[in-house]
Amino acid sequence: MRSVVVTGVSSGIGYAIAKELIVHGIQVFGSVRNQKDALRVTYELGPLFSPLIFDITDEIAVRRAAQEVGEKLQGKTLWGLVNNAGVAVVGPLMEVPIEEFRRQFEVNVIGQIQVTQAFLPLLGADKNLKGSPGKIINIGSVSGKICKPFFGPYSISKHGLEAFSDTLRIELMMYGIDVVLVGPGMVNTEIWHKNEDQVSEEKLRQSVYMKSLLKFKSYIYYKVAQSALPAKKVGELVYLILSHPHPKTRYVLVPNLFSDWILPRLLPKRFLNKKIAKALGFLTKKSNDSKSLL
């Protein structure tokens, strides 16, 4: 039986990935952070799901989970590792507390590296295991390539995941372990509602970006309601990547490929920056009249 480790399966994208893999008869070891979620997800997903209780920032717990999976695999390799668990810290870069930046990077960058290091032997770095080398799929974001205001901490962390994926892919060629990055656009999950909660009334009153932040909150509500993708789409893509003998190195999953991905990367950066700044009320007369530097 093929087996995959998926982090962050209590809800959202991780849950959808685990559910899709199980539909195809794959054993899923899924990480959750507490016993309550472990019991609930096990009940909902059935006997092919095995919970792993750990926080990806807890090195000891992560390595203990890897040892547990290794014992259950009985000398066989993992088919895949899906690094999905993450958080999204939002707000103006100059106003987000440094401890929030640290939390963003501990989870979205260091946590991913920590999990990968722990499970790497089970993916085929340990030559004593039986079976073909597995794949590593990192769940990034369009925000790792296209930056928007107030998503700064999140975007910076996803840029880091891009670099991690590209570097790791080369280094793991000696083991035959492939690394693929999936960059979704906005997906209809709880993470966006958590983002809204971060932009509290108190923070709004204290911020020089107050009016712009209100527009930002409205934007999130609108995008989620109108065009966010169902998490199931990510699950389906992850299964296709794991099944494909020669997948691409990067996949983009957005509601509208042209407007959400191609066009923003074709337009001159200063033009695009000014369009966004104008929409959010950032432009002063001085900045609006200034010449672009080539």
Q: Among candidates 157, 63, 140, which has minimal Cα distance to 101? A: 157
On the CB side of 253, CA atoms within 13 Å amount to 24
- Beta-strand pair 3-6/135-139: unpaired
List the beta bridge partners of residue 76. 130
Question: Tokens 């640290």, residue?
Answer: 102
Alpha carbon distance 37, 189 (integer Å): 17
CB atoms within 10 A of CB 175: 16
Tell me the C-alpha distance between 10 and 252, whole Å.
24
- 16: which residues sit within 8 A by CB, 6+ positions away? 230, 231, 232, 234, 235
Q: Are the beta carbons of 14 and 41 closer than 8 angstroms?
A: no
154 is catalytic: yes
Compute how many other C-beta atoms are within 10 angstroms of the C-beta atom of residue 195: 21
Tell me the residue type at 160. G
Instruction: Work out the number of other CB atoms within 10 angstroms of the CB of residue 94.
Output: 9
Cα(210)–Cα(215) distance, integer angstroms:
9
Q: List the catalytic residue out of 15, 43, 154, 219.
A: 154
Q: Annotated active-site positions, please?
A: 154
